[in-house]
Amino acid sequence: MITIHHLGVSQSDRIVWLMEELGLPYELKWYNRKEDRLAPDEYLALHPAATAPIIQDGDLMLAESAAIVEYICHRYADGKFTVCPDQPNYAEYLYWMHFNNNILGLFFAKSALRAQAHGPDADRIGGLIKRREEGYYRYLEQRLGASPYLAGPEFTCADVMVIFDLTSLPLFGGRTIKDLPNAQSYVQRIGERPAYMKAMKIAGPTAVPPTA
């Protein structure tokens, strides 16, 4: 059985969500953040890169959301929620599987800039970050005007990957989607999925950690 090493208020809630969507059993191991909001030492000891989420499957310790969701769907669910190379929306699927890490990078960069950066260098990097962010969200809004889900007509792992950016990142100062009506209805539609609601109750940003 797969163990989800869940860092509280982190991207690992999407793995809980995926398992609920697939109806697969899993063990949830919860780690609370420290006072400084960073991961505790026992979490850091799990994997050399020590990013959240991390799953354990036998001897395998696997980090990186997008790797984890593809791994689980292909190894345990016959490729459900993935798109194959011979399907017409394969390129779209691939693209959106990488959106999350791009947005996270910009999020870190913006947080860094907000930390009192001034001067011509700050303006230059700030301008670059702004333009990239505008581009990504412009494409997102456009795509969701043309398609109910990111990869096409069906719900896929690409949706599992991106929702966090639209719902949780704004809680930490990330870009909101207030000005993006297509993205808003998309978030609402996803939010009505029973597996999503269940997973967020178990492991979402406002979930209550189990008492030790």
Interface contacts to a second copy, rule CB under 8 A: 36, 38, 47-51, 60, 62-64, 66-67, 70-71, 74-75, 79, 85, 90-91, 94-95, 97-98, 101-102, 104-119, 121-122, 124-129, 131-132, 135-136, 138-139, 142
Closest CB to a second copy among 131 and 201?
131
CB of 106 to a second copy, least distance (A): 7
**Closer CB to a second copy, residue 79 or residue 191?**
79
| Least Å from the CB of residue 183 to a second copy | 14
Reduced to 3 states, what is the DSSP secondary structure of residue 21? helix
Q: Report how far residue 207's alpha carbon sits from residue 212's, in angstroms, rounded to the nearest whole number.
A: 15
* Contacts of residue 185, Cβ cutoff 8 Å, sequence gap at least 6: 144
Q: Hey, what are 137's tokens?
A: 């969200």
Residue closer to a second copy (CB basis): 76 or 198? 76
Element (H, E) at 15: helix 13-22
Say how far apart CA 73 and CA 157 lie, in whole Å. Answer: 8
We find the least distance from the C-beta atom of residue 135 to a second copy, in angstroms, to be: 4
Give the residue with the Cβ less far from a second copy, 145 or 209.
Answer: 145
Q: What is the DSSP string of 65-101?
A: HHHHHHHHHHHHSTTTT---TTSTTHHHHHHHHTHHH
3-state secondary structure of 201: helix
Closest CB to a second copy among 49 and 212? 49
Q: Specify the amino acid at residue 86.
A: D
Per-residue DSSP letter, 173: T
Q: How far is the CB of 109 from a second copy (least distance, A)?
A: 4
Residue matched to tokens 């109910």? 148
Of 30 and 76, CB closest to a second copy: 76
- Tell the smallest beta-carbon distance from residue 64 to a second copy (Å): 5
CB of 116 to a second copy, least distance (A): 5
* Sign for the pseudo-dihedral over CA of 11, 52, 18, 94: positive
